[in-house]
Chains A and B, each alone.
Chain A
Amino acid sequence: MKKNMSTKQILLVEDEPNDVKLTLRALRKGNILNEVTTACDGVEALDYLFGTGRYAGRDLTVMPVVILLDLKLPKIDGLEVLQRLRADERTKLLPVVILTSSKEEQDIINGYRLGANSYIRKPVDFIQFSKAVQQLGLYWLLLNEPPPVRNAKVE
């Protein structure tokens, strides 16, 4: 089934409510009106992706076409989320963009090593931040071809 752009979803994993609000605003202002699911920590993100916890019973054929992942998260941090979703057949291929305040070389290395597709340092300047988010949205939703989602059985 061919999906057009509007059915493509984004998963935003971010614990800072202000950052969530600003990101959503930036997407909206860039005319990116796709559905955005927000997870405020690593556990919620994994619950969503694997259909467990509060997302038990979720239809796992509907996967985000891109995951915007912050690194500093409570409970389970970004890198561990990345590691776990790369280890599971159902989520192994999902594009992950690390969106974080950190520019530390070690974080960048670890991010790529664990299989992130991209690493973006969130600018403090809001105008630049908006532009970055809009570019991200357009690229991953419009230009990029997402991996096909297999028919996942809910375990």
Chain B
Amino acid sequence: MKDNLKKSNFSQFLTIAVLILLCGALGYCVDFILGVTLVYTHLFYLPIVLSAVWYGIKGGIFVSLILILIYLGIHFPEPGLFVFLRSIVFILMGFVVGVVSDKRKQAEEEIKRLNEHLKQRAIELEVANKELESFSYSVSHDLRAPLRSADGFSQVLLEDYGDKLDAQGKDCVRRIHAASGCMAELIDDLLSLSSVTLKEMHREEVNLSTMAQRIAEELQTTQPERQVEFVITPELVANGDANLLRIALWNLLDNTWKFTGKHPRARIEFGVIQVSPSNLMGEGRGEGENKPVYFVRDDGVGFDMTYVHKLFIPFQRLHTHAEFPGTGIGLATVQRIIHRHGGRVWAEGAVEKGATFYFTL
């Protein structure tokens, strides 16, 4: 279609240009014969001028011709061949301008088409997200009921027929119970992971320090006998979704609490450092001015840097259930939240030397 457009524009242009030149030439001759200057020249190509204006308004390429004709009209040139030659030059200029404006029109149409396409895709994405949300919801809801039955009736078995079960039998029931509990936790984690991805974000000023402080206090009440020192830098304020950031901070601090659980004393820090992005390692590396990089650090069991790339994968764990409880969704959730804020998250650690999790927003 573009070629046709070019051809039709070009032939239109050519037709009108030739007509203007011919009429101009004719008028010029009449003027010459009658001994007047440009009276009949103008008269002869006036109707062509008008149709060129019409084409110009419709098609764009001939707007250029109006410019030429205005020039020729207002400027009273010297009679003779010079006028003729100058008209040709200006017609050529007009041709160039015309092609340019034609291309511009094409580009505009292309942009319009792309925008329509984008709008369509955005709608499709919105629909897909909504479907996913209702899918996660109904799946998680519908999965819990049979799970409850499995757990429930295994308990009934134990209660009503426990005397007929030997130690092995009772062990089976225990395992069924544990497995259904595990699956329930997984379902809940999946639900919260998907809601973190799908829920709308409302950005506002969030005081991360008070948030961390509250989480720290909550954690302490779960095991009051534990000796843990929390060092939280005050007045750390950031821009983001309060609910999502609370979930992210909760996951990070809960991890520090959990993985320092085997140590008699622990130190958990939450603070910020100002770093030039080019100095950062791994995922943190980037361009730009100094950014605040928040960190959560503990001196607990740490991890082997060999496995650092596995940390943020959902359900990937570096420890067995026997060593530490958990489903392996915490860090994946944190990563999703930080990414939704346009930030980056990464970790450093060493076995038995603790771990530090950095993130930007």
Residues on A lying within 8 angstroms of B by beta carbon are 16, 18-19, 22, 25, 72, 101-104, 122-127, 129
Contact = CB atoms under 8 A, between A and B. Distances in A.
Contact of A22 (B147, B152, B184, B191): B152
A101 B149 CA distance: 12
Given A19-B145, A101-B144, A124 B137 contact: no
A125 B145 contact: no
A123 B181 CA distance: 10
Contact of A129 (B137, B146, B152, B177): B152
Question: Helix, strand, loop or mixed for chain B's interface?
Answer: helix
B144 A122 contact: yes
Interface string B112-153: 000000000000000000000000010001101111110111
Interface centre among A16, A101, A104 (most CB of B within 10 A): A101
Interface centre among B142, B144, B147, B180 (most CB of A within 10 A): B144
A18 B154 CA distance: 12
Interface in B139-172: 141-142, 144-149, 151-156
Contacts of A25: 156
A59 to B, nearest CB: 33
Nearest to B158: A126
Given A18-B146, A101-B148, A104-B137, 11 more contacts: A18-B145, A18-B149, A22-B148, A22-B153, A72-B142, A124-B147, A124-B181, A124-B183, A125-B177, A126-B177, A127-B155
Nearest to B180: A124
A40 B13 CA distance: 79
Interface residues of B, number: 21
Contacts of A126: 148, 151-152, 154-156, 177
A122 B141 contact: no
A22 B144 contact: no
A68 to B, nearest CB: 15
A33 B36 CA distance: 121
A109 to B, nearest CB: 14
B156 A124 contact: no
B156 A122 contact: no
B254 to A, nearest CB: 19
B145 A101 contact: yes
